[in-house]
């Protein structure tokens, strides 16, 4: 009687602590290699009056090389100051254990694109950038939540405090920004 109970207990533990299944927006293998990209996660949203700022993250594995994809979307009825990246641009993540991970910009110079939405009479700016991991050790990223993200642009630095749970206003859904790496890093290894 003890053995079936122990087996049932261990099976329950593995189901209880199982990782979320990986969800990909891109998963392609061809003669050139393998490209995987996790679904984008809304990690920051600020809506105030006629303006909104949204920050999305996703992870890419390009033939085994891990890359962070960063998207910053700004919407406003007024003029929006452009955001640009240069070779010195970086993204910093501070984890709950105090460690800081630094990612470096993968491209030289890049600025966001202005797209005017005539129907809603909104100026939209989209910055899409890729950042490379400096370290290959992801142990802490798998265990500890992110508490802060800092983006160093060409002309400014912006800090973002990440929440445990984010209920999107512009993008409907519930997101877990703090657990972005915990949920996704194993999907690109």
CA 51 to chain centre: 22
Residue 8 lies in a domain: no
Per-residue pLDDT for 5 more than 50? Answer: no
> Does residue 56 contact residue 74 with C-beta atoms inside 8 Å?
no
pLDDT at 180: 96
Please write down the long-range contacts of 83-87, taking CB distance under 8 Å and 24 or more positions apart: 83/111, 83/112, 83/125, 83/127, 83/153, 83/156, 84/109, 84/110, 84/111, 84/112, 84/153, 84/154, 84/155, 85/109, 85/110, 85/111, 85/127, 85/129, 85/153, 85/154, 86/154
pTM for the full model?
0.85
Confidence band for 19, pLDDT divided at 50, 70 and 90? low
pLDDT at 3: 54
pLDDT at 47: 94
The range of the structural domain enclosing residue 81 comes to 23-187
Q: What is the pLDDT of residues 52-109, one digit of tens each?
A: 999 999 999 999 899 999 999 999 999 999 999 999 999 999 999 999 999 999 988 8
Of 46, 50, 45, 150, the residue nearest 95 (C-alpha): 150
Confidence band for 144, pLDDT divided at 50, 70 and 90? very high
Residue 17 lies in a domain: no
Give me the percent of the chain exceeding a pLDDT of 70: 90
Beta bridge partner(s), residue 98: none
Per-residue pLDDT for 138 more than 60? Answer: yes
Number of domains in the chain: 1
Residue 7 lies in a domain: no
Confidence band for 2, pLDDT divided at 50, 70 and 90? low
Residue 1 lies in a domain: no
Of 101, 97, 187, 100, the residue nearest 143 (C-alpha): 97
Residue 11 lies in a domain: no
Tell me what the mean pLDDT of segment 11-30 comes to: 68
Per-residue pLDDT for 7 more than 60? Answer: no
Residue 107 lies in a domain: yes
Q: Report DSSP state, residue 22.
A: P
pLDDT at 134: 86
Residue 13 lies in a domain: no
């Amino acid at each position: 009687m003890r053995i079936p109970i122990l087996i049932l207990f261990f099976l329950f533990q593995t189901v209880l602590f199982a990782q979320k299944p990986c969800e990909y927006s891109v998963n392609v293998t061809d003669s050139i290699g393998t490209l995987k990209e996790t679904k984008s996660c809304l990690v920051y949203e600020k809506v105030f009056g006629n303006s909104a700022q949204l920050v999305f993250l996703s992870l890419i594995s390009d033939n085994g090389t891990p890359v962070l994809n960063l998207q910053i979307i700004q919407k406003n009825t007024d003029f929006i100051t452009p955001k640009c990246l240069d070779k010195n641009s970086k993204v910093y993540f501070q984890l709950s254990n105090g460690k800081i991970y630094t990612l470096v910009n993968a491209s030289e110079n890049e600025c966001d694109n202005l797209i005017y939405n005539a129907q809603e009479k909104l100026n939209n700016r989209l910055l899409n950038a890729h950042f490379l991991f400096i370290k290959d050790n992801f142990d802490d990223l798998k265990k500890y939540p992110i508490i802060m993200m800092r983006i160093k642009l060409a002309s400014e630095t912006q800090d973002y405090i990440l929440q445990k749970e984010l209920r999107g206003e512009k993008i409907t859904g519930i997101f877990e920004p703090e657990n972005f790496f915990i949920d996704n890093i194993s999907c690109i290894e």
